[in-house]
Amino acid sequence: MPYQAEYIWLDGATPTQQLRSKTKIVADDVHDMPIWGFDGSSTGQATGDHSDCVLQPVFTCPDPIRGGRNKLVLCEVLDADTLKPHVTNTRAAAAKTAKKYAKYDMWFGLEQEYTMLRLDGTPIGFPEGGGFPGPQGPYYCGVGTGKIMGRDIVERHTQACIDAGLSISGTNPEVMAGQWEFQIGPLGVLEVGDQLNVARWLLHRIAEDYDVVISLDAKPVKGDWNGAGCHTNFSTNEMRESYAAIEKACKAIGKKFEMLVANYGDDIESRLTGDHETAPWNKFSYGVSDRGASIRIPWQVEKDGKGYAEDRRPNANCDPYTVARLLTDVVCTDAAGK
Ligand code: ADP
Ligand code: MN
Ligand code: MN
Ligand code: MN
């Protein structure tokens, strides 16, 4: 019997690329996923008179939605003429950096926050027909009606990630009503981006069944409501052995902090205000246990004298390939003494 392979890729939308997918029926005996194509003129990746783009499979896993032998196939986009990476393909650049600094064995753990919205754009944690829920406080890791909205989606999504074989490491309700988080990792530079993109796709797909829109906007509600980030926990093999290497990495990042912030996702200034557990986007700081710092060194890490650090600045809508590439470049270039 043939089976279904859902080919997933990132489109050419600006300022934030979006996930797209379509289904290929694959013959019974096909195990290595073939390249495929799509109409790039409908995804912001080509003009109508020269529309073909190529899908190059890079990560395949079981499809937990369809079950059975069906698969999810994450792809890089290639230019049809040259078969080189398309300009929208940020994974290819990350692959080069990962290879260059392979000896540092960079690990990443990403905390993907997101907000569930109704079709009219209001958060599901806010009253229907307008107005606001009670102020923030009871929602983070809360339980019970009136505090928690959307848990059915979270339960299904978490199990789907496990069934797909993804390295999901946890979930929690967030500070704003109707906002949630899941974590992927720790994994390498490319693997963490691949798995986060598949996990994001599964979340959007499952939320369809509930008429809920998943928003990765950095600041979905203005005012005294938390934004949505993608805290990026990172370590080199040296950081996993030495506290000095962790501080050295933080200092290296401090020297490049503006370049990094500029690549951490759209509308970052609205989120990194200095309030709501953020550091201002135009200042750099690091500290132990400090959730108001740009980079937090977890309490346990200081105690153990080794481990990892958390860059708290990337937005929920960041591109994980770009974030992991730039952090690897900055931290490993410094570690290599160049
Ligand atoms: P927080 O206290 O900031 O909410 P979380 O528990 O949500 O922290 O996320 C911590 C993340 O750190 C997890 O995704 C985990 O996989 C990741 N992590 C743990 N150890 C390392 C490490 N050595 N290098 C990189 N990431 C790590
Ligand atoms: Mn977290
Ligand atoms: Mn969080
Ligand atoms: Mn965090």
310 Cβ closer than 6 Å to some ligand 1 atom: yes
Contacts of the segment 15-20: beta carbons below 8 A, 24+ positions apart:
15/266, 16/216, 16/265, 16/266, 16/317, 17/88, 17/90, 17/319, 19/197, 19/200, 19/201, 19/204
38 CA from centroid of ligand 2 (Å): 36
Instruction: Please give the DSSP secondary-structure letter assigned to residue 284.
Output: -
Q: Which two tokens stand for residue 38?
A: 């799509």
Q: What is the mean pLDDT of each run of 10 residues along the chain (338 residues)?
A: 97 98 94 94 91 96 97 97 96 98 98 97 92 95 96 98 98 97 98 98 98 98 94 98 97 97 97 92 95 96 98 98 98 91
174 Cβ closer than 6 Å to some ligand 1 atom: no
180 Cβ closer than 6 Å to some ligand 1 atom: no
> All domains of the chain, ordered by start, with CATH?
3-88 (3.10.20.70), 97-335 (3.30.590.10)
Entry pTM: 0.98
8 Å CB contact between 283 and 293: no
298 CA from centroid of ligand 2 (Å): 12
8 Å CB contact between 88 and 17: yes
Pocket test for ligand 1, best of 182, 183, 289, 290 (most atoms within 8 A of CB): 183
8 Å CB contact between 156 and 171: no
Among residues 24, 22, 5, 23, the alpha carbon closest in space to that of 68 is found at 5
307 Cβ closer than 6 Å to some ligand 1 atom: yes
One-letter amino acid at 199 equals A
CA–CA distance, 4 with 19 (Å, rounded to integer): 18
Ligand with minimal distance to 300 CA: 1
